[in-house]
Chain A
């Protein structure tokens, strides 16, 4: 009896460990699916804050699957119509003022997207975290009636990722609470944090997110989501260059 219990416990522990090992990746996948859906449409306001200035722009974004994103600026007027299309890791921008679609060359992929704290790469490739990293569950705790999973993601040796590791806090309703970017010396560099969470479009989503730089607390970029819709039907040409150039109303 004693022996059996011990064995059982050991076996159970092993099972739990295995389950956790498997689930870390699943949790991340769930969170990404949750945040993008099969398809999604959202309206948001991006606020770029610097010590001496601040500006906001309102935009619309469409996503499909993990590899297609289209973002279009609605306000302010002088930026209206500026668009960014990202398909399979490639990225194009369109500026109505010069009426040109420009492919973002690889040399500019690490540069900031529209002057924000997000890079072009962040915008075009935000789901590659799933298969380019090794994920492990660090801990799990309860908060406000939700389970929160803390997952450490370490990029593969040849993954095109500069970070030493990322740590993600994901709630059991698959809302990403916080994502920390650590350098290879173990120092925190950037943090993406959900400041407000509210039900929208049928699920709980982070309606206010802020990307902040650890070394410069006075510089951050905030994304306020005002409307979101998931799993809607998008036209087949939604993620094409012609649609980037001539938006269908």
Chain B
């Protein structure tokens, strides 16, 4: 035998199709398993992505600078002067792509028929626009146009709860630095729609200068939000900002501002792997069973080949190859299936029926599956490695058959 490998691969391939029905059933099982792995991984990734992105949007800026005590007590007392000198210079350098100083204080908004606690954001619309932290969609009216804009933009859900609407006056109430009540009537100039209803209820946007005037804090701000290139790489550049800001301020990346979001990404990979292994474990019983049957049916044949001089190693290789072909074909079909089903869903899956529950996890009413190449590679690796490991046992048994006993078996 000049080309033993070529021979056993031909043998393995043909053996695979001797009982084509069994092979096809097994193939279908593997394909469905692989499809499930990739599909679920894409869904879960879509969920985490969205949670992180939504989270980052309500916490705009991957890096934030605050007065030391602000995070413990986010009141107007703990505001700070706008950035100057060193910090300002650091903010104008790459990789910082945008930054904005904003006032962020608890407030109460009231209409004729209700009042709600909200977070009042005094923003500079131009700067926030680049930062991407303004509401995505204004459904009625207009967006804020300048820091001195004296109108407010509120969420659609908040407008419903307050039974107010575009063009109506509402009253904003908060506290100044001496804890005195400050309030002012403002007109609703715009109504926004957010992906999360909770955010619509929570955030009220107003011009920064107007809010500073209301609170009587001059040009002080509550926080500086900074965004850079990729939110996953924030660890690399935030220390520089922290140094520029100095000890007086607290500079934190989003992974620490919202540890829940931060750990989410790390947990995701491990979770996907565990899920894939579990799916595969269920699959492996079918696979091992198929191979054991294939070997069992061919005991005499294997005995004959051994008697003719085929070495045990080649017999082992042949069974392993058979399993490899099966797994490979299953992977191919499964991957194609996954891509084919995920492509049309890329525009989002409407899960509004369960949206209220999902919102508690920080998700919107539409789920966008995220197909990552690394998930496909990971599922391939899991299936091939574990599949071959599982087929070792029957293959090993086949290669260790005693030729005489095998040939004389009924």
A144 at the interface (CB under 8 A from B): no
Distance between A138 CB and nearest chain B CB, rounded to angstroms: 21
1/0 contact string of B146-177 vs chain A (CB within 8 Å):
00001000000000000010001111111100
Residue B83 CB within 8 A of the other chain: no
Q: Are A106 and B175 in contact (CB under 8 A)?
A: yes
Contact, CB under 8 Å: A105 / B175: yes
Q: Closest approach, in angstroms, between the C-beta of B63 and any C-beta of chain A? A: 30
Question: Roughly how many angstroms separate A3 CA and B110 CA in the complex, as a whole number?
Answer: 56
Interface flag for A237 (CB, 8 Å): no
> Which residue of chain A has its CB nearest to the CB of B108?
A107
| Cβ–Cβ contact B168 & A155, under 8 A | no
Task: Determine if A111 and B115 form an interchain contact, defined as CB atoms under 8 angstroms apart.
Answer: yes
- Asked whether any CB of chain A lies closer than 8 Å to the CB of B9, the reply is no
B112, A159: Cβ atoms under 8 Å?
no
Instruction: Point out the residues of chain B lying under 8 angstroms from A163, CB to CB.
Output: 112
Contact (Cβ within 8 A) B108 A110: yes
| Contact indicator A110/B173 (Cβ below 8 Å) | yes
The stretch of B54-62, B181-189, B234-242, B400-408 in contact with A is B181-189
Q: Which of A107, A109, A158 has a CB less than 8 Å from the CB of B186?
A: A158
For chain B, the count of residues having a C-beta within 8 Å of the partner chain is: 28
B185→A159 contact, CB < 8 A:
yes
Could you tell me which residues of chain A, from 180 to 236, have a CB within 8 Å of some CB in chain B?
181, 183-184, 189
Determine if A157 is an interface residue (Cβ-Cβ < 8 Å). yes
The answer to whether A160 and B185 touch across the interface, beta carbons within 8 angstroms, is yes
The binding surface of chain A is classed by DSSP as: loop
Enumerate B94-131 residues with CB–CB distance to A below 8 Å.
106-108, 110-113, 115, 117
Chain B residue numbers with a CB within 8 Å of A103 are 179
Partner of B173 from the list A88, A91, A107, A164 (CB cut-off 8 Å) is A107
A106 and B173 contact, CB distance less than 8 A: yes
Contact A106 B181 (CB under 8 A): yes
Residues of B within 8 A of A8 (CB): none
CB-CB nearest in chain A for B111: A162
Cβ-based interface call for A45 (8 A): no
A161 at interface by CB-CB < 8 Å = yes
B185 touches A157 (CB 8 A): yes
Could you tell me if B174 and A106 are in contact, using CB atoms closer than 8 angstroms?
yes
8 closest residue pairs by CB, A with B: A160-B183, A110-B115, A183-B112, A106-B181, A106-B173, A110-B110, A107-B108, A160-B171
Query: What would 9 A/B residue contacts be, using CB atoms closer than 8 Å?
Result: A90-B180, A107-B117, A107-B173, A109-B181, A110-B171, A160-B171, A162-B171, A163-B112, A189-B112
Chain B: residues with CB nearer than 8 A to chain A?
106-108, 110-113, 115, 117, 150, 164, 168-175, 179-187
- Report A's interface with B, CB cutoff 8 A: 88-91, 103, 105-107, 109-111, 155-164, 181, 183-184, 189
